[in-house]
Amino acid sequence: MVSALLDALNYIGGALDKPGRAVRGGLAGRPDELLAAIPFSDSAGWTDPSRAVSGRDLLTMRGWDTGNDTLDTLLGAGVEMALDPTTLIGGAVGARLGRLGGRALEGAAMARGPGYATTAEDLLRQVGRLDDPETAIRRIENIQQMAPQAFAEVPEGSKLLNAGAEGFAARTPAGDVVRVGGVLNDRPDGVFRGRPISPDVLQATRAADYPGTKFRNIRAERVPFAERVGDESYWGRPGFNNDPSRLNALDQRLEPTGLGFGDRKADNAGIYRGRDVVIDPGAVDELPGYAGGFQTVTPAGDPFAMSRAILDLLGGQPAMRRALDAGLAAPRYEQNLGRFGASAGASLGAL
């Protein structure tokens, strides 16, 4: 019984080694061994198992053996693994699976969000520093009623910058800005779209929607900090279309791309990396014929229990916070798990 089992295992091992055996035979100058990759080549008489070349044989032929039996055996095994096509195939498959899994985990992490402990009360204590505290109170209380979980997007220690018609903005300790406010869905396709993708519109690192009502979501965005927001001495007043203000100049830059700066005012514009940009996507209109894209908006929600458990093993919500502070939408699970999958797949292929 044991003998039969060993014979079976030996046959399976020899069959799995045939692609690597063909490569080693070719490198050793034995062209007949190239046929070893074909199944049942030994049984058909096309190849002779006695002419098979091991990894250790290759080292000896090249004069690379050390003379130490144990070390040469280990080095020979390494050569066989490196030259085995199944190792490469396993690595490629493993990398692909790792990237797919990483991408799914990134999506789950983005939906889960950073999970800060900030509350509406934390922000209400800061309204006294604003020019219009009454508006800020109304907006914060409105968000509290519609989607209180959206405050978990605001890092502890953030400073309120302003409040507008739909929400508020706060500067985070990392130096960027989190904007939380309502977005109206008035589109016939029923899709809540993200910011238009344009160099003249400030692009968000993160955009997540918390369900509010059928026609309005509460959106949290992380965006870079822009200079001179609200500075009318810099932006001027929009006036007529031929007014040489920077606001009109920005509108004229947008128009050829199919966008318009409809709500032209200093509070909706800023300077980012030396470029005048619209900072509020609600101030941008799609003109007829706009064919550009929109940033992806993540539906906020709690991932499945298994996803939560894996995310916790990979650093949990603190990892998501670190990624956001570094200007990333999510931890780089796709990249890291792709490398891990390649190594694991190559190891399994070699085995």
pLDDT for res 189: 63
pLDDT digits (tens, 9 = 90+) for 261-290: 999 999 999 999 999 999 998 899 988 888
Q: Is the dihedral of CA 265, 271, 275, 278 positive or negative?
A: negative
pLDDT confidence tier of residue 350, bands split at 50, 70 and 90: very low
Return the CA Rg of the chain: 31
52-72 average pLDDT score? 75
d(CA 15, CA 17) in angstroms, rounded, equals 5
pLDDT digits (tens, 9 = 90+) for 144-203: 999 999 999 999 999 999 988 789 999 999 999 999 998 876 565 666 789 999 999 999
SS3 187: coil
Lowest mean pLDDT among 130-134, 244-248, 269-273: 244-248
pLDDT for res 37: 64
Number of CB atoms found within 10 A of residue 207's CB: 25
Q: Where are the beta strands (DSSP E) in 32-165?
A: 159-163
Q: Structure pTM? A: 0.68
What are 185-194's contacts with CB under 8 Å, separation 24+?
185/214, 185/215, 185/216, 185/217, 186/215, 192/217, 192/219, 192/297, 193/294, 193/297, 194/281, 194/294, 194/295, 194/296, 194/297
Written as one letter, the residue type at 270 is: G
Measured CA distances, 125 to 170, 314, 318 (Å): 13, 35, 25
- List the helix and strand counts (H, then E) for the chain: 11, 10
Residue pair 294/192 in contact by the 8 Å Cβ criterion: no
